[in-house]
A and B are shown apart, each in its own frame.
Chain A
Amino acid sequence: MPALATYALRLGDDALVLSHRLGEWISVAPAIEEDIALGNIGLDLIGQARALLTYAGEVEGAGRTEDDLAYLRGERDYLNVQLVEVPNGDFGATIARQLVFSTYQLELYERLQGSVDPTLAGVAGKAVKEVAYHREHAALWVLRLGDGTEESHRRMQAGLDTMWPYVAELFEGDEVDRSLSTERIAVDPARLRDPWWSSVSSVLAEATLDEPAPRWRARGGRRGIHTESLGFLLAEMQHLHRSHPGASW
């Protein structure tokens, strides 16, 4: 697969897998407004994923559509970071992931708007406005829970502790990132770490939360290495399409 297709697929898989996790909150979030908020954020991510998977299929040139890529790949062919596949767990863990991931996407898409690739620039220019709302939503919750009651503080901190081993992988670049960023097509993820931390650390400080110090770190998602949870997620997401090939609304 060409590097550009791999790159588009990686970003698309991040959005697709996280949108599925967010959809799992619908009807069981702490309040109905939150069902709607997480559902809407998931919907924005599905939209981004559709554009990116469609583009990956076009660049690959093997005739694969967005549906082929979403529904007919196994877990070893998924190139998302492991952060987005971690099961939701407590609401505090979901909000921790939202802060981590939406801030990452905001920094990424802001820069990707300037890509010399018009499709990536177009997707990023569209998504950056949506992601600004996602990041705002997460930051407001982190403040409310972190600087809230003793229990909300404890659970928000525990959520951060759960997600932190998966943070480093977001900023690990490989040959695909490096070659495409040299051509000003992609953004080297290593460049996003400092602005990401500057934004996240100010939210944590205001919310009286500590930066976790994980004793291990996830890696390999970009090469198709995943935790056991992804297989279960894909089984649910792909079941209908695989059982009824070609089914549509």
Chain B
Amino acid sequence: MTAPTCDRDHTTVAAARSVVADVPDPEVPVLTIDDLGVLRDVQIDGAGTVHVTITPTYSGCPAMDVIRDDVRTALEHAGWRTVEIHTVLSPAWTTDWMSDAGRAKLRTYGIAPPSSAVRGSRSVTLALSVRCPQCDSLDTRELSRFGSTACKSLWVCQTCTEPFDHFKAI
């Protein structure tokens, strides 16, 4: 691909955005960082520098460093030479930002998608019933509120007996 010129029209920004939006999440590679809501903004300034703004799912999410590198690499491969990546904490990420397409992809991948996180900060969202992503049964049980990554809890289906991850609502 040839390097795009520095004309700051909408197509150029849209092209940069589509490159960044396709970067997969390193820990749940079935989702892109756009599906997850981790990608907040893409802009190109007068000097042709691409500014990408991302936000972490959890404060200590170890995938953030990898995401930064992957975004930079993807843009460089697409011809953008100068890239700046900004990390913002506010507004705090919520699973409500996950796209419908992302939720459907998660379920197909075997991870139960998050329920709505509308609540105050006082309480943890209790998923009254999480649907088994394998057999659709609602007869499931939480094994541990903390799963293989910070964003997931561990469940088991009592119908098909398969364990599965549930993306926690926050």
Where the two chains meet, the residues of A that have a C-beta atom closer than 8 Å to any C-beta of B are: 33-34, 36-37, 39-41, 43-48, 50-51, 106, 109-110, 113, 118, 121-123, 125-130, 132-133, 136-137
Contact = CB atoms under 8 A, between A and B. Distances in A.
B122 interface: yes
B2 interface: no
Contacts of B123: 132, 136
Contact of A137 (B92, B122, B145, B150): B145
Contacts of B146: 33, 36-37, 39-41, 133, 137
Nearest to A137: B145
Contact of B59 (A106, A113, A118, A126): A126
Contacts of A110: 121-122
Query: Of residues A50, A109, A126, which shows the largest number of chain B Cβ atoms within 10 Å of its Cβ?
Result: A126
Nearest to A43: B60
B59 A44 contact: yes
Nearest to B87: A51
A47 B154 CA distance: 22
A128 B90 CA distance: 12
Interface of B: 56, 58-62, 88-94, 121-124, 143-150, 154, 168, 170
B121 A48 contact: no
11 contacts: A36-B144, A43-B58, A45-B60, A47-B56, A106-B122, A109-B121, A125-B90, A125-B91, A129-B121, A130-B59, A130-B150
Contact of A37 (B90, B94, B144): B144
Contacts of A40: 146-147, 149-150
Given A47-B58, A110-B121, A133-B168, A37 B91 contact: no
A81 to B, nearest CB: 20
A38 to B, nearest CB: 8
Contacts of A44: 58-60, 150
B168 to A, nearest CB: 7
B59 to A, nearest CB: 3
Contacts of B92: 122, 125-126, 129
Contacts of A130: 58-59, 150, 170
A113 B123 CA distance: 16
A182 B5 CA distance: 52
Contact of B61 (A34, A36, A45, A47): A47
A48 B90 CA distance: 13
A56 to B, nearest CB: 15
Contacts of B94: 129
A132 B61 contact: no
B89 A51 contact: yes
Contacts of A33: 143-144, 146, 154
Query: Of residues A41, A43, A45, which shows the largest number of chain B Cβ atoms within 10 Å of its Cβ?
Result: A43
A183 B10 CA distance: 43
A122 B89 CA distance: 6
Q: Which 8 A-B pairs have the closest CB atoms?
A: A47-B59, A47-B60, A122-B90, A33-B144, A37-B146, A43-B60, A122-B89, A40-B146
Query: Of residues A50, A123, A125, A132, which shows the largest number of chain B Cβ atoms within 10 Å of its Cβ?
Result: A132
A109 B123 CA distance: 14
A110 B121 CA distance: 7
A37 B145 contact: yes
A125 B154 CA distance: 25
A160 to B, nearest CB: 22
Contact of A118 (B90, B124, B143, B144): B90
